[in-house]
Amino acid sequence: MRKSWYHIITEKLWPDYPSETTTQLLRLMVILVVMFIIASANLIIRLLTNPGAGFICDLGVVVTLLLAGICLLNGKKDCLIYLTFTLPLFIYAYYISDFSEHPPCIETVYNSVWWIFGGLLFIFYLAETNYILFFYFFTSIVTIVFQLTRDNHLLDSFSYYHPFTTHPLFILTAFFAAFFFLRTKYMIQLKKQSHQLLDTQQSINKVIQNSSFSVAQIRAERDEEDNVVNLWIEKVNNAFEASFKINLHEVQDQEAEYIFNLLFRHHFDVNKMILFDKKSTREFHAKNQDRWFKVHALKPEYNRFYLIFEDISETKKKIAELEANKKRYKVLLEAIPDIFFVIDKDGTYEDFVIKESDLLKIEDTNIIGSNIYSVGFPENMANKIYRCIKNSLKNNTIETIEYSLNTHNGTFLFEMRLAKLNSHSVISIARDITKRKTAEFNLEKALIKAEESDRLKSAFLANLSHEIRTPLNIITNFTRMLAEPDLEDNERMELSDAISQNGQQLLNMIDNTIHLSKIETGTVEVSMSPCKVNPIIRNIYNRYLPIIPDSKNIRLRMNQDIPNPAFEFTTDYRLLSEALIILVDNAIKYTIKGEVVVGYEMVKNEKINFFVTDTGIGIPEDEKENIFSRFYRVRNHINDSTSGSGLGLAIAQHYVELIGGTLEMESKENEGTKFHFVLPFKDGKGFMKIVS
Ligand code: ATP
Ligand code: MG
């Protein structure tokens, strides 16, 4: 700690005096120095101008002040008081005696009074007993009386001095009385306060002495630099003696470090606690006693400390037990695959136990203290939970709610049960029912599907028998008719056409039935392999060109965007061909005249777009969404006269999806239809890059 100049001076001048005395002495020294300077200056001026007899007096003043200075330096306050008694001498020398030249006594009497006042203040400041005061007052009165008598003015009081109050003796007496009164009052007050202080100190000591906490009073010893060099135990209270089984006389005036090391075997560092620790409270475990203590350090005075030892062993033990219990329950709860929350009556989360999993990663800090309205539930769900909390608390019932929760791992379904835990909170047990619900849902879906396929199968069978019967009937009857000998050639041609067309339809139907059963049983295999595109188109072309009925005026065309025969990409050859066959079959079936085009085009060298267009009857706007449904057939004049299962498009759509595309359709009634699908162009070969 840095010392002020004030401390440095006082310590240098009066090293052995207490600080209150040195302060007083220093103030006096300052006054004396000022007076000495004035007196010396006065002496010098006198020497230079008019030495005379007054010079002796001035010199006397300087010498007296010097003496006072010496007394002060030696810290002799009494000596200063006695020197003040030389004042009447100087008054006599300056204003009364013939020793120096001076105006008549009656004119200088006030000067004398002022000198006496000065001295009086001095004495008031220094004197500790009233006896000195009265003695000084007595000498002052004598001096003034003497001065007044010298020129016979003592009794002029009522005639010479007007008004009478200005009589020097009266002023002196009045001022003395006033000062004395104030001083007495101040002294009484001081005494009272010091009594009070003493009382307070005594009661504090008493409180400390009888406190149930162990208290040690410690004194700091400081070196010249004001650094603490040692800590001494001044005293300890009864509780300290009892708690540590040590007597006051064993520790009193002993080094604190030594005693505390003796008591706590180096588990408590008193120096660190008092001198270096910023915290005024710390805890430590005295292993040798197997006790925990909380120590509070108080510093009521500069060099005095109190250490209060609070035995917290019991509390520590209880906390440890609670912690162990909590851990045990947590382990238990964690073993249960449910999430536990404790929620208070206002919906605020107080605690939770969650099984460590990737499902929900909730930080403790995030959940505890937050409210059901702020953790992400939709408002109606939060309201529902809130109502259930209220109900559970009011009626002591178990409430059940199901809810979904969006987490970073997806949406999960929970079943929450709320049960009253105590008067102000409920325990909520949330169980992840996602798997159960998904299973239920899948089961339901499977059931619906099973029912649907059952229904479909019945419909299909009913349909099939009808649809097979028609072409078969035609084929059987027409074949018989072909055998008629008197048939015209053109009639024979027509019959043969009809037989072949119905035969084709029959084949189609059988194919479709096989496809559908494979789709239904999930046995459609997708085998991706490099597949040359142009031959597929050509095969379809070659397959359909000869069977276009003569009655139709249709031109079948191919569109091969990349003519290179090596052009290929990876897909399922069979599924692609089947899908295209179904589409071409439809196109020819629903076109009377015009053209049917089957082909493909490249899309930015990344995709390949297959299409089948026709200039047929088209599909009415309101039927567009139905044609992909199984067994659905649009009511039109072609369908009225031809048989069909209504399965083709459903199968084609399924196949296209299996190889990574989506079957789409654009159609205008009576103008034509375009079916197309885009496939990813995987591992393409033999195509030309289009540089744009
Ligand atoms: P099948 O199962 O024997 O092919 P289908 O041809 O009637 O019977 P889909 O191929 O599924 O059945 O076609 C469904 C319906 O869509 C057809 O009945 C027809 O009305 C309509 N349709 C399909 N393709 C075309 C087309 N290119 N032009 C006009 N209508 C079409
Ligand atoms: Mg068809």
In this predicted model, what pLDDT tens digit does every residue of 39-71 receive, in sequence order? Answer: 899 888 888 887 676 778 888 889 988 998 888
3-state secondary structure 631-687: CCCCCCHHHHHCCCCCCHHHHHHHHHHHCCCCCEEEEECCCEEEEEEEEECCCCECC
What is the pLDDT, as a whole number, of residue 436?
A: 86
Query: Is the pLDDT reported for residue 1 higher than 50?
Result: no
pTM listed for this prediction: 0.43
What is the pLDDT, as a whole number, of residue 648?
A: 92
Q: Among 589, 591, 623, 628, say which to mutate for ligand 1: greatest number of ligand atoms within 8 Å of CB.
A: 589
CB contact at 8 A, 91 and 110 = no
- For residue 627 and ligand 1, the question of a CB distance below 6 A is answered with yes
Distance of CA 284 to the CA centre of its chain: 30
Query: Which of the two residues, 165 and 5, has the higher pLDDT score?
Result: 5
pLDDT in tens, 113-125: 888 888 888 888 8
- Measured by CA distance, the residue closest to atom 27 of ligand 1 is 587
Query: Stretch 502-508: mean pLDDT, rounded?
Result: 84
- Measured by CA distance, the residue closest to atom 22 of ligand 1 is 586
Query: Is the pLDDT reported for residue 222 higher than 90?
Result: no
Residue 563, token pair as written in the block: 């003519």
Q: Is 618 left (phi over 0), alpha (psi -120 to 50) or beta?
A: left
Nearest ligand atom owner, CA of 645: 1
- For residue 647 and ligand 1, the question of a CB distance below 6 A is answered with yes
Query: Stretch 541-555: mean pLDDT, rounded?
Result: 90
Query: Stretch 306-324: mean pLDDT, rounded?
Result: 91
Residue 624's contacts (CB-CB under 8 Å, 6 or more residues apart) are 665, 667
Distance CA 36, CA 34 (A): 5
Distance CA 576, CA 570 (A): 11
Dist. CA 478 → ligand 1 center (Å): 25
Dist. CA 25 → ligand 2 center (Å): 126
- Measured by CA distance, the residue closest to atom 25 of ligand 1 is 586
What is the pLDDT, as a whole number, of residue 691?
A: 43
CA angle 458, 462, 465 (to 5 degrees): 135
Distance CA 287, CA 294 (A): 14
- The CB density around residue 303, as the number of other CB atoms within 10 Å, is 12
- For residue 502 and ligand 1, the question of a CB distance below 6 A is answered with no
> Mean pLDDT lowest for which of 179-188, 193-202, 544-553, 680-689?
680-689
Query: Stretch 263-283: mean pLDDT, rounded?
Result: 85
Dist. CA 495 → ligand 2 center (Å): 22
pLDDT in tens, 369-394: 888 888 777 888 889 999 999 999 99
Query: Stretch 626-648: mean pLDDT, rounded?
Result: 86
Dist. CA 528 → ligand 1 center (Å): 28
Residue 634 CA: which ligand 1 atom is closest? 20
Dist. CA 586 → ligand 2 center (Å): 5
- Measured by CA distance, the residue closest to atom 17 of ligand 1 is 633
CA angle 399, 400, 403 (to 5 degrees): 140
Query: Is the pLDDT reported for residue 158 higher than 50?
Result: no
- For residue 619 and ligand 1, the question of a CB distance below 6 A is answered with yes
Query: Is the pLDDT reported for residue 467 higher than 80?
Result: no
The chain-wide mean pLDDT, for the chain, equals: 85
pLDDT in tens, 666-688: 999 999 999 999 999 888 877 76
- Measured by CA distance, the residue closest to atom 3 of ligand 1 is 644
pLDDT in tens, 159-182: 555 554 577 888 888 888 888 898
**Closest C-alpha to 219, from 236, 234, 201, 240:** 234
What is the pLDDT, as a whole number, of residue 9?
A: 77
CB contact at 8 A, 529 and 569 = no
- Measured by CA distance, the residue closest to atom 16 of ligand 1 is 627
Query: Is the pLDDT reported for residue 3 higher than 70?
Result: no
Query: Is the pLDDT reported for residue 524 higher than 80?
Result: yes
**Closest C-alpha to 556, from 548, 564, 566:** 548
Query: Is the pLDDT reported for residue 331 higher than 80?
Result: no
| 241 DSSP 8-state letter | H
Query: Is the pLDDT reported for residue 554 higher than 70?
Result: yes
Nearest ligand atom owner, CA of 627: 1
pLDDT band at 131 (very low <50, low <70, confident <90, very high): confident
Residue 591 CA: which ligand 1 atom is closest? 28
Dist. CA 646 → ligand 2 center (Å): 6
Nearest ligand atom owner, CA of 630: 1
Residue 461, token pair as written in the block: 């069978």
Distance of CA 632 to the CA centre of its chain: 63
Dist. CA 633 → ligand 1 center (Å): 6
What is the pLDDT, as a whole number, of residue 359?
A: 53
